[in-house]
Amino acid sequence: MRKAKWVAAAAGVVLLVAGCGGEGGSGKNKGGSSSSSTSGSTGGGSDAGGGDSPDAAAVEKEIEAAATAAGFVQDASGEDVPAELKDCMVSWTADTKKVADPKTAYDATVKTLSGGGWTEGQGTEQAGSTIKTLNKGTWSLKASNHGAAGFSIVMFIGTDNTAKCEALFKADLEKNKKP
């Protein structure tokens, strides 16, 4: 139950950031001339532009491939995406205890994703935390690395920014809102 609420909150943050725009307005993440045909998948009915938009399975596969190539193993206790959001959201948490240097592996993962058709957008660094935004088609990926003395969390949360998915995120947030 706690995990579902956390994922819903994370989706809300991603929507808030996406809605407040660092990436321009009406074209919604067309992402330049990315003509990659990742795993042969095409957009899941993209009503937000971005004809080369991957589906959730392709996004998860790309994150998995980039992260494991950088030395990460997925943390089995990471956050699960609620069933009704599985076509619109991907969550991948690294087991940072199984990699020598989480920051180096995080940087390598982001670099691999950027080389694989993801366009790096705005990012922030503050007090041992780095959050980068990557875009591909209608998808926005928040790559985050939080580390301090003896503490490290690396997560990749992708959301599809189509109107259909935004409506599902809002419905999920309302459903999990405390009275």
Residue-wise pLDDT for 21-36, tens only, equals 333 333 333 333 333 3
Give me the pLDDT at residue 51, please.
54
Round to whole Å and give the CA distance between 158 and 85.
Answer: 11
In this structure, what DSSP letter does residue 175 have?
H
Neighbours of 52 (CB within 10 A): 20
What percentage of the chain reaches a pLDDT higher than 90? Answer: 60
The pTM (predicted TM-score) of the whole model is 0.72
**Average pLDDT across the chain, whole number:** 77
Contact 128, 147 (CB under 8 A): yes
Round to whole Å and give the CA distance between 43 and 87.
Answer: 11
